[in-house]
Every structure is written in structure tokens, then in C-alpha cells.
Amino acid sequence: MSIPLLIANLLTFLAFLAHTFVGDQEIHLLIDQNDGPTRQYRSTWTMARCGWHWVSLDLLIASVLMAVINFSDLLPEEGAITLLLAIVFSAYGLIWMVTILISPTFSRRFFLLGQWLLLLVIGGLLFLAI
């Protein structure tokens, strides 16, 4: 058992839970607070919600993969899978940072949006676990 992998696994699973349940409630507020949303607004909201849960599924799959790697010998090339997950989480964190930096209205709130940091921590832990 790898402690860095276990910590990354727990953080990823907690992120999945928060993203799926708390985040979905926040997404619902966007439609609930908009009186008589237009067809375009509803379409955009639906795509955002579907994309939101696409990320939720990514977090769940990554968490399951980490648990299987850490607690069994079922998967071949566990090091390669862990490396791939480390790259993916690090890339997610970097794209968050880049997106915030190129969005001038959000640049002052950069550190308040801590998802980038969580993703980079998970990526770093996965690199340590290889």
C-alpha cells in the first residue's frame, strides 16, 4: 500500500462526492434563480450541467482506479496507470490556472478558486506514488 496513493485516492473520492452532490445543488441555483430562462439559457445550462457531471464521472473512475491499484493486484502496469493519472490531474490543475489567468474578470479571485490547487496536489501525490 502506498500512502501518497491512498491520500490522493481519499482526496479524489471526497472531490467526487462534493462535486456530484454539493456542486449539482449550486448548478441548480443558476436555473432556479433565473425567472423564465430563455431557450438558449436553458440549453447552455443543460450543457454545463452535463459537463459538470462528466467531471464527476472522471473523479469517480480515477478514485476507483486508485483504490484498485492500492488494494489489489488486479491491474497490469499499475505504475503506468498511476503515471497517466498523475499527468491527467496535473494537466487539469494547469488548465484551471491558465483559464483563470486568461479570464481578467476572475484574476483577482485566483486563489479563492482552489480547485487548481487540489488538482495539483493530487497530481503531485500520484507522481510520488509511482
Q: Is 43 exposed, middle or buried (0-12, 13-18, 19+ CB in 10 A)?
A: exposed
**Rounded-to-integer distance, Cα 55 and Cα 12, Å:** 11
Domain count for the chain, please give it.
1
**Does residue 28 have a pLDDT over 90?**
no
**Residue 79 sits in which domain range?**
3-129
The amino acid sitting at 53 is: H
**Does residue 1 have a pLDDT over 70?**
yes
The residue among 63, 46, 89, 51 whose CA lies nearest residue 10 is 63
Tell me the average pLDDT of the chain: 90
E strand spans, 61-128: none
The amino acid sitting at 60 is: L
Q: Write the pLDDT tens digit of every residue in 67-108.
A: 999 999 999 999 999 999 999 999 999 998 888 888 777 666
